[in-house]
Structure 1
Amino acid sequence: MSGEGEWISTSEDEQSTYHQPSFGRKNGYDPETGIYHSVLQLSENHKMTSDCPDLDTAKFVLSQFPSPAQASSQIALIDTASNQNITYAQLNRSILSLATGLYHALGVRKGDVVFVLSPNSVMYPTICLAVLSIGAILSPSNPLNTESEIGKQVRLSGPKLAIAAPEEVHKLVPTGVPTLVTTRPKDDEKSVSVEDLIENCDPLELPKDRPMPSDTAAILYSSGTTGVSKGVVLTHANFVEIMKLLKYYVEITSSQDDVFLCFIPMFHVYGLAFFGLGLFCSGVTTVLMQKFDFEAMLEAIQTHKISHIPAVPPVILGLVKYNKGSHDISSLRSVTSGAAPLSKEVADAFQEKFPWVELKQGYGLTETTGAATFFVTNKEAKAHPSSVGLLFPGFSAKVVNHETGEALPPFKEGELWMKGPGIMKEYFGNEEATTATITKDGWLKTGDLCYFDNEGYLYIVDRIKELIKHNGYQVAPAELEAILLSHHEILDAAVVPLEDEEAGQIPLAYVVRAASSSLTQDQVIHFVASQVAPYKKVRRVNFINAIPRSAAGKILRKELVLQSNQPLLSKL
């Protein structure tokens, strides 16, 4: 798959791979409206087709599968645990068989919610696409959630059916929701499983009552790292348009014989949009890990000659810190970072250690169906190491002064507002939160502090809610965390606010030391202080065994703030 022909160029430079519109040719910024437009535009052959009323998520993804002649030999999925290979033909049959069973045997209909509680498995994409094939609404949840958290999500979404891994079923028992297990336990002859339906149901045609683009396709749950988790409603139009953007992004940055490694959880929008749906539109092979393990990841890269890893910052940091040479990872050509900010320091260290590997950041939220920005080329990524890239075609943005509402020009920091094909419909059953997040004219308030440069590249500074207010100054935890991670004796770090009578708040650092390190609080404080303005310096350090993170790699700051909710012992 060749990339250079995928984009229009109206510039005189014939080597240009993208079209820059007439306004703000350099950066897409329109000073009259304060809006940043994407400088990228899909070619006529790849225009988004929102005007097709019969194009729903499953129909689109299945239509992109390899031809029947290729599908029987083209590998779609490889399970690292069992070494099982699944071809596109087998995947297609499994999806249609499960959809048939759900529709005819279990009575699941268009608009019904199906709650999914399972770790990654080769069956996960089958479950997702089968549910969507019959017009039902997919609602995946984190299997690490407690029984209480599961209960809240079930009450919110009101599912007709749940599908769960056997070890997770007990969390659903109190909800009373009928539950289908993914695989039947050996000592249980009565349970009906997903495997049973796939094996015993002959695939039938999909129901003719297809979803409309504006119909709900999925209810995903926001991470809730700084507040209460909410149900994000994504439509079929959201998914279809994002699938198209991801398809063409993959096609201009890889080839069909590339192999992708998946350890990102598919209940998360990053994993669902990329691995549960998106990659099947490009005919590539995905090697699947049930859960992340660093050594197992290295083994998978070596065994399956992995070329691409969509990852999260803690994984990239782990690669920077690990002793290169224990595994052969020379097949690796590209690493994409998303779900949380990646610091320039870590990015630079990665490129120095693995100079042959492309490292690109992207940006997206659950509320944007997981995508919003990306890099076209590695040359651009290297030239803008702290950036998360350019706006995807069809996306636009504003940088808004949080206090005055003024739209800001390049290099001015403010809250990122976005419009685009991936913007969610609403927060399910929460009109107040929806109104607070989406303006009357359709702008999504992301809650992220950012700025654009004069070339249209976006830079995320931090979450606005996570900024530390110290003596009237704003301190970004992400900046201090990046400095901390550059210390050779620090494996991981997080910075949170600590209440202080005199200053309002002070930066408190949680630090994970290397095994042989004897690093002290004073040493850490002085290390940071030598690199920042006085008001930004870390004032207290707590050493900890591990930084709590979500499955997507985001720091769970609420947990750390709760730990730090104690009187300050000393003024520094």
Structure 2
Amino acid sequence: MKIYRSPFADVTVRDLSITEALFEGLARRGDAPILIDGPSGAAMTGAQLEGRIRACAGGLRARGIGPGDVVAIMAPNMPDYATAFHGAAFAGATVTTLNPTYTTEEAAHQLRDSGAQMLVTVPAFADLAAEAVQGTGVTETVMMGTTGPGSLEALFGPPLAAQVAVDLARDIVVLPYSSGTTGLPKGVMLSHRNLVVNVDQTAEIIGITVQDVTVGFLPFFHIYGMTVLMNCYLSRGAAVVTMPRFDLEQFLSLCQTHRPRQLYIAPPVALALAKHPMVDDYDLSGVEFILSGAAPLGGDVAEAVGRRLGVEMVQGYGMTEMSPVSHFTPPGQNVPGSVGPTAPSAESRIVDPETGEDAAEGEVWVRGPQIMQGYLNRPDATAETVTRDGWLKTGDLGRFDEAGNLFITDRVKELIKVSGFQVAPAELEAVLLTHPAITDAAVIGVPDDSAGERPMAFVVRSDPDLSEGAVIAHAAEHLAHYKRIARVAFVEAVPKSASGKILRRLLRAKVGEDMATGA
């Protein structure tokens, strides 16, 4: 068996919760700002954040919420996101993080599936929250960014002195949702140890220090922003300037004001930094290092960003099921097109997905202490994804160079990756088939300059007057914006195997032929 090990020393597996790890960083930042609200400039010091987390945890315990209970958070990035997240974690509860762009149906599914009892949100999403909690186990909704009854402040209680006892290796601290190749998104069970180890695997090698500050637009509900920004930065005593949503002008302005040394982005932002004329209007000279993750980034775009800004532009790799980081490029060690070597304490393999044998190029498998505990209530899906000896099958194809740098070349899975978010074709197909004039449908991902991929639907219609716009509009009523159909092709039949499985490779081939001929 050919195993690719990390060139870096193993990290120590520490016996502390993710919030105790966070408190180490907050103590280093004491009276200095550690979370800054980008739009308003309002700042929270390390001591203030720790006090709010302890008070939030105390209030939750006073309401009887602790180990075995689930608190849902549906909010944009804001300083008190960390208060709610770590308040629940310190109280021993599990946090499930919802995408605030979800439709009512999507939010309700996650609330039901996770077993959430409390929902923390913001006034802008009050109507969505009120509808989504119907028929779920949520008995209380708490509002951040406001005061009075029902607010986060009103939830606070006597500060909790110590972490509520949990099994660090097994108890689930966070339950983000990730789409599989079939059905609705599944809860990914991550323990305190998963998160703490991945923070340690990442932060030291990237070189985050107490002097650092970064601009955090990557959403905290997504594992990339959750681990790399909220937890890595704060646990090292570094500051984060939060953005509730990405706005290029605001992002550039905040970078000019706060002068971050390092930035963490996704491919659509890299494209803007490479090509948008607005970039020239701002002073980004403080930036030295930019890491792009969540989706593949073309080498030409990375090189264009590097040349334009005079920075080192690199890539990393991971997935929700790995907490998420498994490979990344440290400063000063960029290999163009690579996502870097294996993280400390982790191992990698390249496996032929058909035979299970070692291969020069094949499916990337990863094993290490950051690997998830499994999918919530889905032992079948867990067994399909994680082998008995702990190897997680990523579903991505790749190869290693002689120096141990990983290159991602394609995907085994059928997932569509839109701006770093995984979209299951089966979920979109199920929505399309609820339209009375659609008799069959198949969805694939097609290349998109800004998002990496966008969903394209192949539709069999019973009404010849059904238009592309009508199909797109129907899907938009039921799906978050990043899942929405970008293109529609009407076909006589969806190609399927003898067992009824959609032959997506034939659809991809058709799209490729059409692009080649200009059709």
Report TM bin, short chain: 0.7 to 0.9
Report the residue type matching 2:410 in the other structure: D
Give how far 1:119 is off.
Answer: 1.2
Give how far 1:565 is off.
Answer: 4.9
Alignment of 1:210-249 (within 5 A): 210-223=166-179, 228-249=184-205
When residues 495 and 222 of structure 1 are mapped into structure 2, their CA distance, relative to the original with a 3 A threshold, is: closer
When residues 293 and 226 of structure 1 are mapped into structure 2, their CA distance, relative to the original with a 3 A threshold, is: farther
Q: Which residue of 1 aligns with 2:12?
A: 48
Query: Larger Cα Rg: Structure 1 or Structure 2?
Result: 1
What is the TM-score normalised by the length of structure 2? Answer: 0.79
Alignment of 1:142-541 (within 5 A): 142-168=99-125, 169-176=129-136, 177-183=138-144, 191-198=149-156, 201-206=157-162, 208-223=164-179, 228-250=184-206, 252=207, 254-323=208-277, 324-355=279-310, 357-378=311-332, 380-381=333-334, 384-408=335-359, 412-466=360-414, 481=447, 494=453
Is 2:60 the partner of 1:102?
yes
Q: Which residue of 2 aligns with 1:63?
A: 24
**Equivalent-residue separation in structure 1 for 2:455 and 2:120 (angstroms):** 37
**Equivalent-residue separation in structure 2 for 1:495 and 1:158 (angstroms):** 31
Give how far 1:218 is off.
Answer: 1.2
**Equivalent-residue separation in structure 2 for 1:362 and 1:114 (angstroms):** 30
Give how far 1:64 is off.
Answer: 3.6
Q: Which residue of 2 aligns with 1:513?
A: none
Is 2:489 the partner of 1:564?
yes
**Structure 2 gap segments, 5+ residues each:** 417-443, 460-471, 493-509
Aligned sequence identity (%): 33
Q: Which residue of 1 aligns with 2:432?
A: none
| Alpha-carbon contact 1:76-1:87 (below 8 Å) kept | yes
Cα RMSD after superposing both structures: 3.0
Task: Name the SS of the counterpart of 2:22 in structure 1.
Answer: helix
Report the residue type matching 2:40 in the other structure: S
Task: Name the SS of the counterpart of 1:124 in structure 2.
Answer: helix
| Alpha-carbon contact 1:124-1:276 (below 8 Å) kept | no
Give how far 1:390 is off.
Answer: 0.6
**Deviation by residue 1:234-292 (Cα, 9 ceiling, x = unmatched):** 01110111121233124x3x543222010001110011112222211111111111111
| Alpha-carbon contact 2:181-2:414 (below 8 Å) kept | no
**Equivalent-residue separation in structure 1 for 2:223 and 2:64 (angstroms):** 27
**Equivalent-residue separation in structure 2 for 1:226 and 1:293 (angstroms):** 33
Report the residue type matching 1:397 in the other structure: S
**Equivalent-residue separation in structure 1 for 2:353 and 2:453 (angstroms):** 25
| Alpha-carbon contact 2:326-2:343 (below 8 Å) kept | yes
Q: Which residue of 1 aligns with 2:96?
A: 139
Task: Name the SS of the counterpart of 2:39 in structure 1.
Answer: coil
| Alpha-carbon contact 2:69-2:117 (below 8 Å) kept | yes
Is 2:43 the partner of 1:124?
no
**Deviation by residue 1:489-526 (Cα, 9 ceiling, x = unmatched):** xx6764778879xxxxxxxxxxxxxxxxxxxxxxxxxx
Structure 1 segments of 4+ aligned residues over 6 angstroms from their partners: 495-500, 568-571
**Structure 1 gap segments, 5+ residues each:** 1-32, 469-476, 486-490, 501-543
Task: Name the SS of the counterpart of 2:198 in structure 1.
Answer: helix
How many aligned positions are there? 448
**Deviation by residue 1:517-543 (Cα, 9 ceiling, x = unmatched):** xxxxxxxxxxxxxxxxxxxxxxxxxxx
| Alpha-carbon contact 1:110-1:211 (below 8 Å) kept | no
**Equivalent-residue separation in structure 2 for 1:226 and 1:208 (angstroms):** 37
**Equivalent-residue separation in structure 2 for 1:212 and 1:495 (angstroms):** 38
Give how far 1:349 is off.
Answer: 1.3
Give how far 1:39 is off.
Answer: 2.0
**Equivalent-residue separation in structure 2 for 1:39 and 1:268 (angstroms):** 28
**Equivalent-residue separation in structure 2 for 1:425 and 1:290 (angstroms):** 30
Task: Name the SS of the counterpart of 1:465 in structure 2.
Answer: coil
Give how far 1:228 is off.
Answer: 3.0
Task: Name the SS of the counterpart of 2:120 in structure 1.
Answer: strand
Task: Name the SS of the counterpart of 1:296 in structure 2.
Answer: helix
When residues 347 and 184 of structure 1 are mapped into structure 2, their CA distance, relative to the original with a 3 A threshold, is: closer
